[in-house]
Amino acid sequence: MATKPELLASASSLDELRRFAEAGADAFVIGESRYGVRLPGDFPVEQIAEAVAFAKPRGIRIYAALNNVLDNDTVRTLPGYMKQIVDAGVDAIVFGDPAVLMTARTEAAGVPLHWNAEMTSTNYATAEYWGRRGATRFITARELNMEQVLETKAQSSLEIQVQVHGLTNIYHSKRPLVRNYVDHQSEGAKEQSSQLPGNGVPQGTIEEGLYLMEAERPNERYPIYEDANGTHIMSADDLCMIENLHELMEAGIDSFRIETLLKSAEYNETVIRAYRAAIDAYAADPDGYRFNESWLEAIQALQDPNRELSYGFFYKEQVY
């Protein structure tokens, strides 16, 4: 029996979290959009505490998302917020901004810190840099290829987390780009907000259904949404590494992340089940492990036909 890697997901609500736990996720990243970025739903501190109470007895871990780009105003509230989430019993804090690391030294001593700056987490030596300053886990950039991911695991003393399924963020602006575009089209000042796609969506939820297309790429739909943190543009394909998960399991990758953003609960549940099955099968008998086509078929059955399942950057060479 091999050590099982963690299967990590996000969730938009407590109900969904319970459902995904049932499907086989054994860790969750949750939080509030003021501190965390691109969360499928907001978990106020009380709900984080509830999530922890649900998770602890089941051996499930709850990580607090504090990986936003933080401004002065938010930093002022950081010690109080961090104290609350530590009291709530979170198992780790996910950070990107060094201000979180600074605050954690006094407000969250002893709580593991996961460094996740998304596209800028690109090499093992930088992982070690953050490790020397207290990080316990390194979340690899989705733009790395397999060789780079495996070398990072081999060279780093930190836990390595890799996204294996779902869309990825490809552009984050502080500008409200959709609102600006609608304003530009309407030219006037009055009717803007009523015409805004997504108008009336409550805070902490995401308006789904908006996407961008580019003339030379007629089959690719890039989801775009706006929230209090600005504008987010997402990949046109969904990463899906289930066929090749053994490559990552053999290397001892510590955590596999499923991105649940902009997907139905049913889809996410199916994806989590599939990866759970693969991880369990590998752990039970690494040498006899074989990929089971039905895992992928279950995902394909629910896959949006306009979105390709892809290997992301795992088998690509990029130039610069």
Partner 1 sequence: MATKTKPLFTGKRHRLDRPELLAPAGNLEKLKFAVHYGADAVYIGGQHYGLRSNADNFTFEEMKEGVEFADRYGAKVFVATNIYAHNEDLAGLEDYLHGLEKAGIAAIIAADPIIMETAQRVAPKLEVHVSTQQSTMNWQAVQFWKDEGMPRVVLAREASLEEIAEIKANVDVEIEAFIHGAMCSSYSGRCVLSNHFTDRDSNRGGCCQSCRWKYDLYEDDIQVYGMDEDQFTMGSKDLCMLENVPDLIEVGVDSFKIEGRMKSLHYVATVVHAYRRAIDSYMADPDNYELKEEWLHDIQKAANRPLNTGFFYDTPGAEDHIYGPEDKAAPYDFAGVVLSYDESTGLAVIQQRNNFKPGQEVEFFGPNGTAFKQVVGDIADEAGDKLDAARHPLQPIVMRTEQPVQPMDMMRKRIRP
By the criterion CB under 8 A, which residues form the site for partner 1? 69-72, 74-75, 78, 97-99, 101-103, 118-120, 122-126, 128-130, 141, 143-144, 148, 151-152, 155, 169-181, 183-185, 197, 209-215, 217, 221-222, 224, 230-231, 233, 235-236, 313, 316-320
Task: Give the Å distances, CA to CA, from 97 to 65, 66, 78, 308.
Answer: 12, 8, 12, 32
Q: Which of 274, 315, 54 is nearest to 166 (CA)?
A: 274
Cβ proximity to partner 1: between 22 and 193 the closer is: 193
Smallest separation, CB 39 to partner 1 (Å): 16
CA–CA separation, 249 and 291 (whole Å): 12
> CB neighbours of 81 closer than 8 A, spacing ≥ 6?
35, 45
Q: Please, what is the end-to-end C-alpha distance for the chain in angstroms?
A: 42
Cβ proximity to partner 1: between 141 and 242 the closer is: 141
CA–CA separation, 104 and 106 (whole Å): 5
Smallest separation, CB 26 to partner 1 (Å): 29
CB atoms closer than 10 angstroms to residue 184 = 9
CA–CA separation, 281 and 291 (whole Å): 9
Smallest separation, CB 113 to partner 1 (Å): 13
Smallest separation, CB 53 to partner 1 (Å): 31
Cβ proximity to partner 1: between 100 and 278 the closer is: 100
Smallest separation, CB 218 to partner 1 (Å): 10
CA–CA separation, 85 and 306 (whole Å): 39
Smallest separation, CB 159 to partner 1 (Å): 18
Cβ proximity to partner 1: between 6 and 32 the closer is: 32
Cβ proximity to partner 1: between 3 and 318 the closer is: 318
Q: What is the Cα gyration radius of the chain?
A: 20
Smallest separation, CB 172 to partner 1 (Å): 4
Token pair, residue 82, equals 């961090």
Cβ proximity to partner 1: between 101 and 164 the closer is: 101
Cβ proximity to partner 1: between 142 and 257 the closer is: 142
- Contact by Cβ (8 Å): 282, 190: no
